[in-house]
A and B are shown apart, each in its own frame.
Chain A
Amino acid sequence: MGRLLLVSRLVVGDIKRRRTQSALLLLMIVTTTTTLTIGLTLHKVTDSPFARTRAATRGPDIVAEVVPPPGPSPEVARDFAPLVHARGVASTSGPYPVASARLTAGGIDVPVQAQGRDARPAAIDRPAVTAGKWVSPGGAVIERGFADALGLAVGDTIHLNGRRFRVAGIAVSTAQCFYPVSTPGVIWLTRDDAGALATRMQPLGYVLNVRLADPSSPQAFENGNAAYAFGNDTNNDVTSFMTSWQDIRQSDFKVVSVDQKVLLIVSTLLALLAIASIAVVVGSRMAEQTRRVGLLKAVGATPLLVATVLLAENLVLALAATAVGVIAGQVVTPVLTNLGNGLLGSAPTPPLTVTLVAEVVIVAMLVAGCATIVPAIRGARTSTTRALNDPVHPPRRRPVLIAFSARLPVPLLLAVRLVARRVRRSLLTVASMTIAVTMVVAALTLEHNVDVHDRHDVASGVIGASSVADRVTHLVFLLSAILIVLAAINAIFTTWATVIDAQRPTALARALGATPRQITAGLTSSQLMPALLAACLGIPLGLALYQLAGGHVSEASPPVLWLLAVIPGTLIAVAVLTAIPARIGARRPVADVLRSE
């Protein structure tokens, strides 16, 4: 009991004493566990919105369409005859007339497919009205993805082939892909209103919704005789085709999978960045912890007790971070996976499974274990006196860099020697900054591509087709912002760790005549060197990431000047972020530092 109390007191005491450091470690582990939670739950959420929308709208298993050729309108509805009575068909709804028309409203002029519907709900495919009401004479219902892309709301006035309509409602359906996955966009009208839109050159087409006895194998049905008869009934050049619910889901999923791909890549990058940050935080803690081990041993603690104290402290932080990370992951995942307006709602909060929690806990435990084992072993192997007196992790000598730096101006001389002292830390800084720059470059490339496509779409008369790209862009920018904030925290902390580590040499340099400005410039430059390398690496890596995420750099590579601007941009950002800790470090009274040794 006494030992437990002692361990608790030591743990609480040390966490309190190093509040900032403990908070940073907590933040880094929280980030890792959050991103891990997001990553692990992502693949479970993408199917849900489609399934839910399909269930709510009694979505069809097969959608059969016939499209007549331009010219005098033949009676094409009879072409569905082979299907309606085919074996395997449980029920059908329709056929419904479909008119190709042009929608105009407030500067908008886009093609639409206007489907004629009955006022009462259909047995199969009854679009779920999310705003307003269902169709009525003169009242149109617009597919939600389409309405969002055009910026239309209930009560707005639109014109279809010059005829005036009021937007009566907004609805979702799984009888076709949501806009802009499928174009033109879909509008539901009454049968009469739809029929009135037909012209001699644009006669009505028809659509039939089919419910199969075995919905799990629409492919088998499509390959059957009845379907063959339907598809090959070439009556007056009528085009007929079928689409299964799985095809529609697949097309919707392509959009969703872009999100998923982006999220997975970014969450991996976030995890890598968090690990790099943790390595810096844990590394600097280790240096201090070894001294602490010496102190504990000096007052009679056994190596086992010392290891217990260290492990307990890191476990407390890791477990707290795991709890916060799992909850944050649960909260953030649905926000990030709001899978488009064409389906009902966003992804549900993924369930907390034992496996998921166990996986996250294992990672957090690994972090805690690594943070414990090294100082515990070092402490056990180092004599008490040495652990108390000697620099725990003496800097390595890099003769080439030292000789090279002698030829440089004083700030750069100091910077190169600071980098040379802790090469591993500098490499971690390069890694974390490279991740941030990579993401920025990928986001810039995406933004540029969206701009190019927007211009192309406007030129083609298609409006709002980039809404999916916009959504991905927003997602990428949101995640980039998270990455940048984390990289910024990391840059500040790394600078601070460098300031603390270089206290003695910088104080000595000041005693020997270096000015505070030279020291500040040296400390800042020691972060700018890895930043420069990171910026140079991040540009090609960002383009590669964009390509990996499904983009095509060759189609719309951002201007070279944009990319080159990333280098000074990164350097300026790092200089601003590191200037304050560097200045504080350079202003610390020299006498205090030299006397404390």
Chain B
Amino acid sequence: MTARIASRILLLVALVVFGRARADSLAPLTLDRVALDNGGTITVSGQAPPASRVFLEVWSEKAVTASFFDARRNDKGEIPYKLYLTRQLPAHYRIYLSRAGQSTLDDYARKGSGWAYSQALKDTGADAAFAVPAARPIATYQATLMASIAGSRGDLLPTLDSKEARRRAMQIVKARFRSVSKLLSATIEERPDGSFTARVTIPAGAAPGRYSVVAVAVTGQGVVKSPEATLENRIAFPLLYLSNAGTSLNLFTPFLLALLVSIFGVLMGAGGGFILNPLLVSLWPLPHTIVAGTVMPTVLFSQGSGIYNYSRIKFISWKLGVTMGLAMLAGGFIGPKLTELITLDQFKFVFGWILVVLAGLMLWQTTPAYLQKNKKEQAILKEFKRRAEQEAAARRDAAGAAAPALESEGGPR
């Protein structure tokens, strides 16, 4: 008896909720496919009120950390130096709009890296669909010179209000995805009766997992949304998802790249970090922060083994190395904090000039004048090294241990 009443109440509640949902939301979307293999294109169709403008918001469940550093002079003539950071930005995010918007997108694409995402959203009306990143928590830090020297992000400021959060979320999204084509796509075909179809593309190399699609219709009365439709993107070995970088890639390519560059580094008597970094940011859509932060620990161990090899033959001045090393320890404390304060474009620009200087240094070391001057030095270096190795071998023989061949560390510089 009670059970029957309870079920009737439940039914009533369900009817009310369902009925209300119908009144202020669009019909559920239809997806022609709900499972993808390393990306692909699906067709989404739905129904909106006639004469409305339709947008689709598509995002991945997988999220990444992204940030935007505001160092531009504002209206008051001050430079804010604020860092906006979210740990929950979707790894893939794109808004689809009507085909009619293509020419506007082309105009924005021609502006190059200086295009304004917020302005593009406004011009196309797509800001009505911009919702998911704005709802994710954003931390704001007040960066100062002193904080930077102390190696901290600065003071954590109070939570942003929703309007400000929305504005900053757009800047973070732009800083992360950068190009017009990655963020906006004009593929929706709208028909006079309000029905629409759109081609939604999840690119190869995008994050695996669940993706959500929501249609947003802007009518004379306001904004109506459809329930969330979901699809699943799968990736299989040898593709791996880099969870912090938000990209999947074939594991063999970075392996081979790291192998070749590190061998070349050994031949030059240097680590390979300064070649590996720019290659990684150029070849894949990897954030420069992740690349810099992952390459450093990678070369750490090769440097360690190099030091071990030199110390075995007593070829290191510990006094000099440690003294200068302490100065580098202080520098290494500050540098990584600065990486997130620059954009990928600035990273590439500065790195470009670093490489020009390095190429100059290396060419200079191969000029006949330098080689002539260096010849005597090289001979001394070889002689010292030979003596050191002999002595080390003698010590090992005396200790009664077999003397393994020494791995000589690269060519002389």
Indicate whether A and B interact: no
- List the interface of chain A (C-beta within 8 A of B): none
The residues of B with any CB-CB pair to A shorter than 8 Å are: none
